[in-house]
Structure 1
Amino acid sequence: MSLIVAGCGGGGGSDNSAGSNSPSTPTPSGANQVAAVISQGVSGNVNIPTVTVTVCAPGSATACQTINNVLLDTRSFGLRVLNTSLGSVGASLPALPSGSGILAQCALFAQSFTWGTIRTADVHIGGETAASIPIQVVGDLPEATIPSENCTNSVPASNAQDTANALNANGILGVGVAITDCGTACAAAMSVNNPSTYFSCPPNTTTANCTRVPVAVTQQVTNPVARFASDNNGVIVQFPAVPDGGSKTATGLVTFGINTQSNNAMPGTVTMLVSDLAGDLQNSTFNGVSGVKAFLDTGSNGVFMIASLPLCGSNAQGFYCPAAKQILTATLQGVGTTVTTVNFAADNADNLLKTGNFALGNLTGSAGATSGTLDLGLPFYFGKTVYHGLDLRASGGRAPFIAF
């Protein structure tokens, strides 16, 4: 899973920039559509697309909590919500058992992690419902219980995303191409080859005595889209184009299902790239490097890569600050032979972050030491319609894909 939401920028500055209009795509018109809003949100950070989700106790129409400002993330899988956002409903969500304890997870992202129990809930998004699926409730266990194995030995303990300000949202809605967040690899017996980030914790534990365990696929945090009664084979994400200086806000459209009804038909003119299980296009080329792992990710607030561009100073640490807008080119290729060339812009991040706009189309940053990675984050989505097809091979369907 990948979530790169930089903890800088997006704050003050003038509100009178040329790009302060608020472009939007068509509003939701079907039960399988919801709006995705980019605005100041809960933390004042930039390029954070959010949707509204309702979480209910299984089978209940009354023990429900509607949660706004949930991050739309196309490269993680499953719903993770802050315990504080659930209110009293959190106590009515059954915890999944694990041995003599309860199941918890340290879900690792690129620079951070979420820690909390796995519980069963009905998840309502727009007019769609995923009944009785495992979700993660973040922050419902004491910080002292966070395990070191496969958690803080990979990411510093200070990078726990257990508050709205740390997460930049009230939760994460992972609608990437995988059905669950780990699959059969985590269900195997524990060994050095099992990547499980799941743990069995004694009930009411207050110390770090949780034990890493294998977990059945049916108990893993599950992509809600895959459990909808219909419109369950993928998602379509549309965001409007924004001016070079950005926009104060922007509203996009998320449509569930691909070719399942009239409002989600995929035209034959789009380019389809077969991806791996994580949604990666492993055979891409960028900046003269072949075999680059490229991926499209609304959960990243910039485009992140290694480029020959000057880095910004401390006001926009980790972002690029070219003297003038640059157009960069990459060649994307997945598992098959289909190849497509894409362009994206890199502008001075320091200047962009001073505009006071929250939808920034030309924001780019460094991928650190991972020169073989091209993270086509939210800015890449502006002005496009992007299709994320779920991995349906286990049920005899097609392989996961990205199309635009």
Structure 2
Amino acid sequence: MNNVLMGAVRFAQGTIVTLATLTTLAGCGGGGSSTTNTTGNSPQSTPASPGATASSTPSASAPAPASAPVATVQQSTIPNVHPVVVTSTPTQTRNMLTTSVTVCVPGTSNCVTIDNVQVDTGSQGLRVLASQLPASLELPAVPATPPAGTANTLNGECSVFGTGFTWGAVRTADVRMASQLAPGIAIQVIADPSVPTVPSDCAASGLPMMTPSALRVNGILGVGLFSADCGGGCITSALPRWYYACDPTGSCTSTRQPLAQQVANPISQFALDNNGIVLDLPAVGPNGAATLNGSMIFGIGTQANNTLGNATVLKANTTSGYVTTSLNGQPYSQSFFDSGSNGLFFPSTTLARCGFWWCPASTQSLTATVTGTNGASAAPAFSIANAQTLFATQNYAFNNLGGPSNAFDWGLPFFFGRRVYTAIESRLTSAGKGPFYAF
């Protein structure tokens, strides 16, 4: 199966526009996301398928300085390197970047390590299938917020992605990766039997991704630009397709959600190395690779292995997380870097299509210019090959796989052969505060 993985974009005020509507794609399954929160977050409070090698060193103009921070970035000696991999999957989904995450009952050694969790720079928060949690791992439920909630109501959450939605309970867990700990954070347990009924507005958002075959992974690790998945909008308003108060009969009503109880980006809750991540992935050749091993490095400018060096810093919109990409003179203001999308998705009137993918007769070399809100820009070169030819290789990591979209989604192929930095909003780095991308 040559699955398409694309994300949803949540704009300010909680409006949800899925990339399924921004693109010509319809009825696609798969995980992956590009979810932005409804407003900025407080810095302390914490919601698929190989070709020409992409340029590993983009040309750049007016780079943002990677030094002279407003204050000193707190340094760390905690081991901060966590392995990630692209390899074959049971659903044969291409370009699926995954890792393992350890989930524990808060404050205990009662833990389980969940493999095959997608790494997604386009969303915030850990979401795991209930089927991956043993019965002995009883994670505390997060109670719903009054007035919609009472002492007897559970907290449910709908998370909308471009290729479907997840629904489940909000529970509290310690989350461990490398030697880092995010203690007592809210996570989403997908298909949790305690909230069996999917609200109608959530169910209308797309295809349900509630099983390993539908989600194509065992969970999604959102390590994007924000510390929580919804932000200020959910604090003040009961927004549709976000948080719910669910009574014992299974009836659920939209409710407000305090920031501290929103599904949290685990990196933002580490004691140190908590201002973002670096994805460091090797390059692949024109026919792709069967397996690719890389690293997710926690922190930016907090240790010797996560310094920015000469990377170009592209500040992102503080609400949407967008930057602007220009291709062939046409600017696309809805642009983002999303390891949870498994192709390079963008508009084109010249590339031939085959279903959901681009299939040019020969590999096409392109260059686009990405501009941040700080005025800094970079011009990465990339290639698009024939998707059918790529799939025939039986490889799983491709850097020149792409498809149509009205937005510009720099998916996982962009990350190969680069160190890509994702800085969390309001968190201090050696290049100032996030949110920003850098490469």
* Deviation (angstroms), 1:196: 5.7
Change (3 A) 1:94 1:244: same
Match of 1:251 among 281, 288, 293: 293
The structure-2 alpha-carbon separation of the partners of 1:60 and 1:335, relative to structure 1 and needing over 3 Å to count, comes to same
**Equivalent of residue 247 in structure 2, options 202, 220, 239:** 202
Question: Structure 1 residue 87 and structure 2 residue 134: aligned?
Answer: yes
Runs in 1 of length 4+ with deviation above 4 angstroms? 3-10
Structure 1 residues 69-108: aligned runs within 5 Å: 69-90=116-137, 92-98=138-144, 99-100=149-150, 101-108=153-160
Q: Look up the SS of the partner of 1:123 in the other structure.
A: strand
Q: Which residue of 2 aligns with 1:34?
A: 82
Number of the residue aligned with 1:146: 198
DSSP-derived class of the 2:368 partner: strand
Aligned partner letter, 1:220:
Q
Post-superposition offset of 1:143: 8.7
Q: What is the aligned residue count?
A: 367
Q: 1:270-312 CA distances to partner (integer Å, 9 max, x unpaired)?
A: 1000012366333331243224321111100101111121111
| 2:437 is the alignment partner of 1:402 | yes
Mapped contact 2:225–2:321 kept (Cα < 8 A)? no
What is the alpha-carbon distance in structure 1 between the residues aligned to residue 343 and residue 223 of structure 2? 19
8 Å Cα contact 1:178-1:278 kept in structure 2: no
Q: Which residue of 2 aligns with 1:356?
A: 394
Point out where structure 1 has 5 or more consecutive residues left out of the alignment: 11-16, 20-28
Q: Does the Cα contact within 8 Å between 1:177 and 1:278 map onto a contact in 2?
A: no
Contact 1:7 1:45 (8 Å CA) reproduced:
no
Mapped pair 1:384 → 2:418: yes
1: CA distance, partners of 2:104 / 2:194: 24
Distance 1:183 1:164 in 2: 28
Cα distance in 1 between the residues matched to 2:90 and 2:196 = 26
| Aligned partners of 2:366 and 2:381 also within 8 Å | yes
Distance 1:264 1:44 in 2: 32
Q: Deviations over 1:352-397 (max 9, x none)?
A: 0111101111100111xxx2x10000000110000111112699x7
Amino acid paired to 2:118 = L
* 2: CA distance, partners of 1:351 / 1:329: 22
8 Å contact from structure 1 (residues 81, 172) kept in 2: yes
Instruction: Answer 1 or 2: higher relative contact order, Cα 8 Å, separation at least 6.
Output: 2
Q: What do you get for the CA RMSD once the two structures are aligned?
A: 2.5
2:7 corresponds in structure 1 to 2
Deviations 1:47-88 (A, max 9, x none): 001011000001011x21110110000010000000001122
The reply on whether 1:135 has 2:187 as its aligned counterpart is yes
Structure 2: 5+ residue runs without aligned partners? 1-5, 9-18, 21-27, 31-47, 53-76
TM-score (norm. length: structure 1): 0.85
Question: Match for 1:323: what amino acid?
Answer: A
CA distance in 2 between partners of 1:130 and 1:384 (Å)? 27
Q: Distance in 2 between matches of 1:242 and 1:189?
A: 46
1:24 is aligned to none
Query: How big is the shift at 1:337?
Result: 1.1
Question: Which 10-residue stretch deviates more, 164-173 or 328-337?
Answer: 328-337
Q: Does 1:343 align with 2:381?
A: yes
Cα drift, residue 41 of structure 1: 2.8
Distance 1:7 1:393, change over 3 A: closer
